[in-house]
Amino acid sequence: MDGQKHITHFYFKESTSLRDSITHTTMTSVVATSCLPNLVTTSGPVLRSVACIAASSSAAFVLDKSLLSIRGGAAVVTNKKKVPEKAPPLFSTDVGKSVGWMATGMALHYLGYSFARAITLALFTSESTGFPGSNFAFPLVNAFVSPMSFLLLTVYGNILENHGPRGALKRSTFYCASVIMVSSIILEFLKQMGTTVFGIQATKFVTAPLFIFRESYVQLLTSQYWSFMASVLTPDQSAKWFAPIAGLTSIASATGGIAVRFLAAKVDLAGTLACTGLSLCASLFATEMAYSIAEKNGFAPHKHSKKRLHGKGGASVEHENMLTKAKKLFARVPVLKALFLEILASQGLATLLNVCFVKVLASISDDNVRAAWVGNFYALINIITMGIQFAVLPLLMQVIEPKALWRFVPLISLLFTTFQAFQENPSLYIVSGSLLVMKVLEYSARRMLDEMVYVPLDFESRFVGKEIIGVFGYRLGKSLMSLSLSALTSAFGNFNLQQLSIFCDVAALAWAKTAWDLSSLVPTRKEAQDSYTAAKKKNRD
């Protein structure tokens, strides 16, 4: 055969049997093997060896393709990259459905809380049921919020230990609904009877404890909703969905705030307060649905191992003092300690702004009008918050790390409190503006950032640490500021509105400092996801 001999080219669509495929491959190999060396007879032994290796490789490649195509269809290239399957939408999955139910339960909780907040403020500032002329009353009741929160937290810890997360949420929701419903009945009864005690309207003895309880119970329940969602979602999912989920609570809160005016006109203040209890009952149904789905599909939050402590003589000790738990937890997880300090500072500012707000709110004399004004004010807060949660934060979190947002948020509030501090006699609208900005920041960006901290952490951090910070930390900040303000008032006399505004500005600076310290401990999104994945793998092992 001379070097000009043509290589015969074979083409086939599909082998009908293994024999045909191998025969075809063999013929191709023979032709290639016989022709390639002849083409390089004049090129020396090295090139001849290369040609033989190439011919052998060609035959092997064709055989490999033929064997892979025996089952039918075109030949398959084995090194082709697989296209990853697209994940289904979150809320079409069982995890998404359970989160949806829990988010609904939280929204119903905030719907009822919007009723309770407006009603308790209206009762507290009323001539007949509250303490509008007292400079000590508001700081004093806020000082009692922290002990009440600690009491609720202790009860919650015992229930959690004995009944788990689901039992704790179910029981605490039922207890809170019962207290509010009974309080509304007592208020209406005392109002109808016109009862007095030592010449004081008996309703005032209900108004103050009710105000304290309303300030305490809201975070007790809220923290449990978020703990569930932080347990079943990944850090990437939480960064995407926590803001819209919080947006649902803003919708519910805005709806409740607007509805207060109409409910108060129809069923009076006590009847509107009773609607809070009904909302909590509806919330209980939704949260039970969430846990049912989670338990049925095996992703309900639970302790992977219960550690038993042993006292003297080997006696088993299952319960620790809540303060001891907090101390150990903060030492083990430094970011929680930093978050606790940040919350103390932010709630100190919130308390001072509320003191200013209540002081100027007393200028509205009619109880129902004042309740409606408060309802509309908080409705506006929630409408703005809702827009940020749905339209701004989901896009912003794609391009900015959480730690950068932690540093930026308090600076906005600082600008408004500084402006207020320079006013000789701040009006209702200036004070309301500072409070509005602080609350919008707290309900939108800060709430989302707060919840994202817990996602990569362990069970104890999410369900115990979160309650310590969310319930006790929030209220301790209010109580410490209230006690400090009461002590200063006793020592130096009453402060005017501008002096209180200067205190607000100092508190805003403290918030900015603690938020900056916290941001240095907050992980990036990638670090949080890696930590979460490692923890899940460890739990499976």
311-320, Cβ contacts within 8 angstroms, sequence gap of 24 or more: 318/161, 319/157, 319/158, 319/161
Q: How confident is the model at residue 369 (pLDDT cuts 50, 70, 90)?
A: confident
82-124: pLDDT as tens digits: 555 566 777 789 999 999 999 999 999 999 999 999 999 889 8
Q: In the chain, what percentage of residues exceed pLDDT 70?
A: 79
Q: How many CA atoms lie within 13 A of 282 on its CB side?
A: 15
Whether residue 307 is contained in a domain is answered as no
Of 76, 111, 133, which residue is a domain's last? 76
Instruction: Count structural domains, the chain.
Output: 2
Tell me which H or E stretch contains 200.
Answer: strand 200-201
196 strand-pairing partners: 201
Closest to 360 in 3D by CA, of 383, 346, 377: 377
pTM tops 0.95: no
317: in domain:
no
Given this model, what pLDDT does residue 86 score? 62
Q: Domain for residue 81, yes or no?
A: no
pLDDT at 359 over 70: yes
Does any domain span residue 126?
yes
* Residue 22 within any structural domain of the chain: yes
- What secondary structure letter does DSSP report for 92? G
**Strand 200-201 to 196-197 pairing:** antiparallel
Q: Which of 48, 76, 104 is the last residue of a domain?
A: 76
Tokens of 164: 């788990």
- Give pLDDT, residue 82: 52
Average pLDDT over residues 134-154: 83
Is there a single domain that holds both residue 105 and residue 15?
Answer: no
CB 229 within 8 A of CB 154: no
User: Across the strands, what pairs with 201?
Assistant: 196
Residue 122 CB partners (closer than 8 Å, separation 6+): 264, 269, 367, 368, 370, 371, 374
Domain that residue 19 falls in: 1-76
Higher pLDDT, 448 or 82: 448
Backbone phi, then psi, for 77, in 5-degree steps? -90, 115
- Which of 12, 44, 76 terminates a domain? The answer is 76
Residue 541: the pLDDT is 60
Higher-confidence residue of 78 and 453: namely: 453
pLDDT tens-digit map of 156-201 = 989 998 999 999 999 999 999 999 999 999 999 998 888 888 778 8
44 and 156 in a single domain? The answer is: no
Sequence-ordered list of residues with C-beta below 8 angstroms from that of 230, at least 6 positions apart, any chain: 238, 451, 454, 455, 462, 466
pLDDT at 132 over 80: no
pLDDT at residue 308 greater than cutoff 70? no
Q: Both 123 and 47 in a single domain?
A: no
Q: How far apart are CA 452 and CA 473, in angstroms?
A: 17
Q: What pLDDT shows up at residue 519?
A: 95
The answer to whether residue 82 sits within a structural domain is: no
Residue 164 lies in a domain: yes
62 and 171 in a single domain? The answer is no
SS3 content of the chain, % helix, strand, coil (to 5): 80, 0, 20
